[in-house]
A = this chain, B = another copy of it.
Amino acid sequence: MDHTTFRYELAQQLRVDSIRASDAGGSGHPTSSMSAADLLAALLDGHLRMDFQHPENPGNDHLIFSKGHASPLLYACFKAVGAIDDAELLSFRKFGSRLEGHPTPLLPWVDVATGSLGQGLPVGVGLALAARRLDRLPYRVWVLCGDSEMAEGSVWEALEHAGHEGLDNLVALIDVNRLGQTGETMHGWDLESYAARAQAAGWRTLQIDGHDQEQIESALKEATNSDGRPVAIIARTKKGKGVAEVEDLPGKHGKPLKDPAEGIRELGGERDLRVTPPTPEAGAVPHTFPSRGSEPPAYDIGAEVATRKAYGEALRALGDRRGDVVALDGEVSNSTFSELFREAHPDRYFEMYIAEQQMIAAAVGMQVRGWKPFASTFAAFLTRAYDFIRMAAVSRANIHLMGSHAGVAIGEDGPSQMGLEDLAALRAVHGSTVLYPSDANQTVQLVEQLADRDGICYLRTSRGAVPTLYGPDERFPIGGSKVLREGSDVTLVGAGITLHEALRAADLLADEGLRARVIDLYSIKPIDVDTLRRAAVETGALVTAEDHWPEGGLGEAVLAALAHAGVQAPVRLLGVREMPGSGKPAELLRQAGIDAESIAEAARRALAD
């Protein structure tokens, strides 16, 4: 069989297997798979440099199905290369199968979970950046995009960044099958509209008939002739190609064929072709960055330091010692102090401009290759990338996020800049870690621990300088807390800025003869159940204070911990209950009812009950 014939036959097999898997699973997206089958057949047979037996080989290319619903096609490819067998293919979407409805890294050849559209290309940008600037290896990143998902702004962020960085190791295969879930896409088969946009962002574009193996081969070959620009292969295809029941018809999205046997017959029946993709060059060794001894920063007790600044200083020092730590920022590095890392380690700093979705996606891409990305912006603006953070958890990614400018304590900038929902949002991410330090030395210790912590790790920092409470040798295990004042009348729980207010509240109460215990709950998830339980039992009542909306934050975390511990005690939750405006930090803390006087007053009421 010549190449063209083989690829035609292989593509037909991929279609047949997509139909079979979806039929066996009882649901799925065979038609979205069939449109891209010819592209994938050609990619596997001669272009994707991938050793499927050794997915950990650092020389491997990377293949991301940004249109994750085309999972039947991906799994059919895995069968065609011998990575899975036919029995596993037919386990598609069944309970316990690795072949989920949308791909996840439970499969060793899948780097990241997809299925929320418009994320694969930005993650591909992260991998291509890792190849170019971190690993310094010639692997290539191939991303299969749907045409519907081109409507997501995140795709345009990716186009911009890839063009700006000149990532000619990145190839987007855009499967323009014209039909979305409910009807025609915005641009239908107007390939030129996609090409114009990509060209404007600095990409090279190749427009082809996505079912013509000669045009596909020529485009794939051309795409690997690097000229400093990323490449978009814009392929005109037909959804459901090859089967009359579904080909180029609306209303055929996301469901198995009604007559799969007839569809398979039209495609020439089942086949059992095997394809061996080219292997990457042997002996690829990722670049490593030199490290050197460097002490973490240390602050004198009482020194006035903002936790965001301690973050930057800690990250810079961590970067000295560890060549695998990298930093990204959303164009606010002089506010988050990631600029200190950038100045010390410019090779490992990535300016993501004001594109938070691309920032998180890039971090996810980099951690695929084992790098330890720390991504920072204002806590409020991490909400811009919440879907990316959610999906990063599905990707089992290990990323470290820092959100600065927490709460009303930022003062004059007003509510648009105040992170007031970040604790709730980040707690509600599977397997996440949520930390909220209250002084500089604590921040340093937590940053040090984060680098080796798995999952989605979040560190919340504050804008204003606060007095350093702890000595530099104090330890703050994740999942712990600190009892800063002993007392048996009532417990005050705070973190970050509200810990300082709670300490002042304890002073106010002490003047009245009331002995308040004060807990620094720097680790909000995981949470120190034992210390909270003991406080409930020993002091009988708690007051929590947080610079955050009352929902889903520190206060409710405490309630959940006590419920989990099976202890009952009255808890008063103080949080921001009215929309703040501008003002001095002290004025806004007072107005929100989370300043020292408000905390003391809540404690008095708790004791009066």
Q: A-B pairs with the 9 shortest C-beta distances? A: A153-B153, A115-B416, A552-B552, A95-B583, A568-B568, A424-B428, A156-B156, A196-B200, A101-B414
State whether the Cβ of A133 lies closer than 8 Å to any Cβ in chain B.
Answer: no
- The answer for the CA separation of A471 and B100 in the assembled complex, in Å, is 38
Scan residues 465-514 of chain A and give those whose CB is less than 8 A from a CB of chain B. Answer: none
Q: Is the CB of B416 within 8 A of A68?
A: yes
Q: In the complex, how many angstroms separate the beta carbon of A432 from the nearest chain B beta carbon?
A: 9
Residues on B with C-beta less than 8 A from A180 are: 331, 353-354
Chain B residues with CB under 8 A of A539: none
Q: Which of A57-107 contact B (CB under 8 A)?
A: 68, 93-97, 99-102, 104, 106
Number of this chain's copies in the complex: 2
Say if the beta carbon of A582 comes within 8 Å of chain B.
yes
Known: A552-B427, A560-B556, A588-B95. Is A415-B151 also a contact (CB below 8 A)?
Answer: no
Query: A114 and B416 in contact (CB under 8 A), knowing A100-B582, A556-B552?
Result: yes
CA gap between A184 and B193 in the complex, in Å:
29
Interface: A160 (CB within 8 A): yes
B181 touches A95 (CB 8 A): no
- How many angstroms between the C-alpha atoms of A609 and B417 in the bound complex? 46
A555-B551 contact given A102-B414, A383-B386, CB 8 Å threshold: no
In the assembled complex, A581 has its CB within 8 A of some CB on chain B: yes
Size category of the A interface is: 35 or more
On whether the beta carbons of B201 and A102 are closer than 8 Å, the reply is no
| Chain B residues in 8 Å Cβ range of A584 | 95
The interface stretch among A1-9, A569-577, A596-604 is A569-577
Q: Supply 4 further A-B pairs (C-beta < 8 A) apart from A152-B157, A421-B429, A563-B573.
A: A68-B416, A149-B354, A384-B386, A384-B387
**Given contacts A100-B582, A559-B563, are A383 and B387 in contact (CB under 8 A)?**
yes
Which of chain B's residues have a CB closer than 8 A to the CB of A398? Answer: none
List 20 A-B pairs, Cβ < 8 Å.
A68-B416, A93-B414, A100-B415, A104-B415, A104-B416, A115-B413, A116-B380, A153-B153, A156-B156, A164-B186, A196-B200, A200-B200, A384-B387, A386-B386, A420-B428, A425-B428, A428-B549, A431-B579, A551-B560, A564-B573
B380–A421 touching, CB < 8 Å:
no
**Distance from A467 Cβ to chain B, minimum over Cβ atoms (Å):** 22
Which of chain A's residues 364-416 have a Cβ closer than 8 Å to chain B? 380-381, 383-384, 386-387, 390-391, 393-394, 396, 412-416
> Among the listed B193, B358, B394, which residue makes an inter-chain contact with A200, where contact means beta carbons less than 8 Å apart?
B193
Q: How far is the CA of A560 from the CA of B572 in the complex (A)?
A: 9
A437 at the interface (CB under 8 A from B): no
